[in-house]
Chain A
Amino acid sequence: AQSVAQPEDQVNVAEGNPLTVKCTYSVSGNPYLFWYVQYPNRGLQFLLKYITGDNLVKGSYGFEAEFNKSQTSFHLKKPSALVSDSALYFCAVRDEDGGATNKLIFGTGTLLAVQP
């Protein structure tokens, strides 16, 4: 069964500092990995995904994520945090052999708080 874990409920970082939001996954086959962001009272917005190829993927708003197969991780990063990055971040996974539904399984979310 597919699963994804986000070990931190909240990450606090000062504006201008680098940020990391952690994610680990478990799938039976090759993983397809996604990051979404949710601003208050809004839907989920797609940030980036890893399917295959380069382990470092770049996405929207200056975010990037690094796929590490040996550690089964897909941590979200940004070199310099902005106050406007404060939001709830979700990691999601789909098994390459996910069957007919293509559903995503989401982690529990990490609240990113960027202090000015």
Chain B
Amino acid sequence: EPEVTQTPSHQVTQMGQEVILRCVPISNHLYFYWYRQILGQKVEFLVSFYNNEISEKSEIFDDQFSVERPDGSNFTLKIRSTKLEDSAMYFCASNYGQSTGELFFGEGSRLTVL
């Protein structure tokens, strides 16, 4: 069964460093998302991406964050200068695009900022 894959599974970084989290969505999906979950709590929407551009972003997704789909398969989330409060589990998700469809989530990338 096709699945969303994410790398790395865990990354530890120093405050102020740049981090790139990678995702390979399901191949025929058209919509891509990043969500964040802090300490096993609420799952928060960060950004959605369609047709090679951001279609919506939340207040959390400030100028320190960026996304891109550099090669037609990977979907990346970059945090330019990490803060302590960026420590969280980051989930990538994808969807074919139908409004009735569920999102398919990856296993997540745990980011720890020291």
Contacts and interface: CB of A to CB of B under 8 A. Distances in A.
Contact of A43 (B33, B56, B106): B106
B56 A99 contact: yes
Interface residues of A, number: 26
B68 interface: no
Given A44-B91, A106-B43, A100 B56 contact: yes
Interface stretch (A10-18, A19-27, A69-77, A90-98): A90-98
Interface stretch (B14-22, B72-80, B95-103): B95-103
A32 B100 contact: yes
B91 A100 contact: no
A32 B102 CA distance: 10
A102 B31 contact: yes
B50 A43 contact: no
Interface in B44-103: 44-45, 48, 50, 55-56, 91, 93, 95, 97-103
